[in-house]
A and B are shown apart, each in its own frame.
Chain A
Amino acid sequence: MSASVNTHRIRSKGHYRLLNVLSQAGSILLGILLAIWSLTPIYNMWTIALNSHEAIFSGELYPESPTLHSFWVVVTQDFWYLERFWHQFGNSFIVGLMVTFLTLSIGSLASFTVGRMRLRHGWMLTNAALMTYVIPASFLAIPIYRIMGIYGLGNHLSSVILALTTFATPYAIFIFSQYGKSIPMELDESARIDGANPLHIYLRIYLPLMAPALVAVGTYALLLAWNEYLYNFLLLSTPQSMTVAVALAQFLNSDESPWNYMMATAIIYSVPPIVLYYGFRHNMTAGLTMGGVKG
């Protein structure tokens, strides 16, 4: 009796070990597949950028004689689509920083009113933000394009800044309202007793304590603005006003496009957001989650 139990136990142990080895092997195999799936388009980008123009059309799986020529062309603005590359790079930075600044200030002010000042009907503000968040930005593109013309902002960076701020602020309001609940109201009350007005409380208590949420949302807004294409494309059309995203897509206008220059531009354009993303990955888990979002 006891012997049979023993052999059974031993067999099941061996069985278990086999299963364990099999599942280990399976998960390593899956891991390799996932890595290939994730990296292939990125690898493709580098292969093209490192090739000479002729080599692209020979369909190589890796650059046989890699050259940094394409990157040099982009950096020295030595191609007619890229004549104002650094200027456009600057435009992208201006748009990104302005959207970040406006999103943080407008969002934190609004959530301060709703969450800390208990403005009656303040919930309407939250609902407005919630509705904006769940309307696809691309669906409003045509009317917003027309309206920017009416406002007289056509072809001006501020049109893109305002449009993107509109789409980034709702997320800011939610994260701020959520995070603000962890800050005790007693702080506001004691400051109040000491004679502080709401502006003091906002600047001296609310904002400093909200720092982690500000970092998360700021990163989100900066990435959203830098990566956005549709509004940049519709609202900015001269080489002077364009951002890098629009300049990059210009390469698609002609069939003769030098794809190696295009991919080199694409890689240079991707570096700031990727660095920012990985740099702030851990502080912006919130920004990463519900956010990233919208285009």
Chain B
Amino acid sequence: MSGTQQAIAAGRTFAPARPARRGLFGGLHGADFAWAIAFALPYAVIFFAFVVYPIAFGLWMGSDLSLYRDLYSDPRYLTTVINTLVYVGVGVNVKMFVGFMLSGYFMNKSWWTKALLVIFILPWATPALPAYMSIHWFLNGQWGMLNSAIYSLFGVDGPIYLNDHWSGLFCNIGAYIWKTLPFWTVILLAGRMAIPQELYEAAAVDGANGPSRFVHITLPMMANLYLVCTLLDMVFALGDFNSTFFVSGGGPAMSTEVLATLGIRYAFTLALPNLGVAAVMSALPLLVPLVILLMRKLRMSEGQL
């Protein structure tokens, strides 16, 4: 599978098939054409029934402009927007930077870094729900393990982390980083391993030292992958429901909600489904440019093949 891994590492995923070379089923006549349609049909059905229709339905549900006036007049909504921006902006960028640094660390091939990588991946292998529940209890101000440890080490009571807007928000972000850091580190590691070793050898022959090899080889070779990973994770972070829902629960007083959880809260706790859709749709100005940029990036990378 290492070929695929390297292809992904080089940022060449999602390359659609090249435009038709007139090959085997070139013109696709008669029976062949019927076969092709039959093979493509299941995905087309799924796509229209569960992607196109819901999107159209959502646009219709959120089409009443007075919904947005309601949203805007809800102070919780404005807090949510700020939270979402901090969550995506800080969470993703801190994680990618740390992941990039750690990928260099894991390039070391000694037996204990290999063993460490196996441990390091455990948060990613653990399902989100149990992991976040555990972190929620770990941070509990009264009985949580963190404050117990602080008490037994320093003899003082630790703060009540989840009872404050900013510390609650950063706990959610921290939990999200904890869960997803291994995944992106491994991708960036695969990217680093795909850089041809000859480049480094040639540079060493020319007398380039460590830092300048990093600046002139590693950085330019990794730039595209790093950008694609950052954009992709921004989309994932924007849609992340579990960390906020299970770590802080959106509390206290709904002050740590993000758009993904606020929409669900409006729709299913407050029984205002249209307002929920409107809340989610208000992320479109951020989501649409991200999606367009990503689709271009991922499709363009085909050219490198």
Residues on A close to B: CB < 8 A? 27-28, 30-31, 34-35, 37-42, 44-45, 47-48, 56-61, 105-107, 109-110, 112-120, 122-123, 125-147, 151, 162-163, 165-166, 169, 173-175, 177-179, 182, 185, 188-189, 192, 197-199, 202, 212-213, 216, 226-227, 229-230, 234, 245, 248-249, 252, 259, 262-263, 266-267, 269-270, 273-274, 277-278, 281-286, 288-290, 292-295
* Partner of A130 from B105, B123, B134, B299 at Cβ < 8 Å: B299
Contact with A along B240-283 (1 / 0, CB 8 A): 11100010010000000000100110011000010011001001
Closest-by-CB residue of A relative to B32 is A198
**Contact (Cβ within 8 A) A109 B283:** no
**Contact (Cβ within 8 A) B20 A143:** no
**Contact (Cβ within 8 A) A61 B186:** no
Write out the residue numbers on chain A whose beta carbons fall within 8 Å of the beta carbon of B159: none
Interface size for B (C-beta < 8 A) is 111
B222 at the interface (CB under 8 A from A): no
Write out the residue numbers on chain A whose beta carbons fall within 8 Å of the beta carbon of B200: none
Write out the residue numbers on chain A whose beta carbons fall within 8 Å of the beta carbon of B273: 142, 146
**Contact (Cβ within 8 A) B35 A197:** yes
Chain B at the A interface: mostly helix, strand, loop or mixed? helix
Write out the residue numbers on chain A whose beta carbons fall within 8 Å of the beta carbon of B1: 212, 216, 282-286
Contact with A along B112-147 (1 / 0, CB 8 A): 110010111111111111110111011000111101
Residues on B close to A: CB < 8 A? 1-5, 7-9, 12-17, 19-26, 28, 31-32, 35-37, 39-40, 42-44, 46-47, 49-51, 53-55, 57-58, 61, 102, 105, 108, 112-113, 116, 118-131, 133-135, 137-138, 142-145, 147-149, 151-152, 178, 182-183, 186-187, 190, 232, 235-236, 238-242, 246, 249, 260, 263-264, 267-268, 273, 276-277, 280, 283, 287, 290-291, 294-295, 298-299
CA distance A199 to B37 in the complex (A): 12
Chain A to chain B contacts (Cβ below 8 Å), 5 pairs: A57-B143, A138-B260, A139-B239, A252-B249, A285-B1
CA distance A190 to B158 in the complex (A): 72
**Contact (Cβ within 8 A) B236 A136:** yes
**Contact (Cβ within 8 A) A140 B54:** yes
Write out the residue numbers on chain B whose beta carbons fall within 8 Å of the beta carbon of A289: 5, 8-9, 186-187, 190
Write out the residue numbers on chain B whose beta carbons fall within 8 Å of the beta carbon of A136: 235-236, 238-240, 260, 287
**Contact (Cβ within 8 A) B46 A119:** no
Write out the residue numbers on chain A whose beta carbons fall within 8 Å of the beta carbon of B280: 139, 142
CA distance A52 to B132 in the complex (A): 22
**Contact (Cβ within 8 A) A266 B124:** no
Known: A106-B43, A174-B14, A263-B134. A142 touches B267 (CB 8 A): yes
Chain A at the B interface: mostly helix, strand, loop or mixed? helix
Write out the residue numbers on chain B whose beta carbons fall within 8 Å of the beta carbon of A262: 133
Write out the residue numbers on chain A whose beta carbons fall within 8 Å of the beta carbon of B190: 285, 289
Closest-by-CB residue of B relative to A259 is B137
CA distance A295 to B22 in the complex (A): 40
**Contact (Cβ within 8 A) B4 A39:** no
Can you add 14 more A-B contacts, CB < 8 Å, to A31-B112, A41-B134, A147-B57? A41-B123, A110-B40, A137-B239, A138-B241, A139-B287, A142-B267, A142-B277, A143-B55, A177-B15, A177-B17, A178-B15, A198-B39, A249-B246, A270-B130
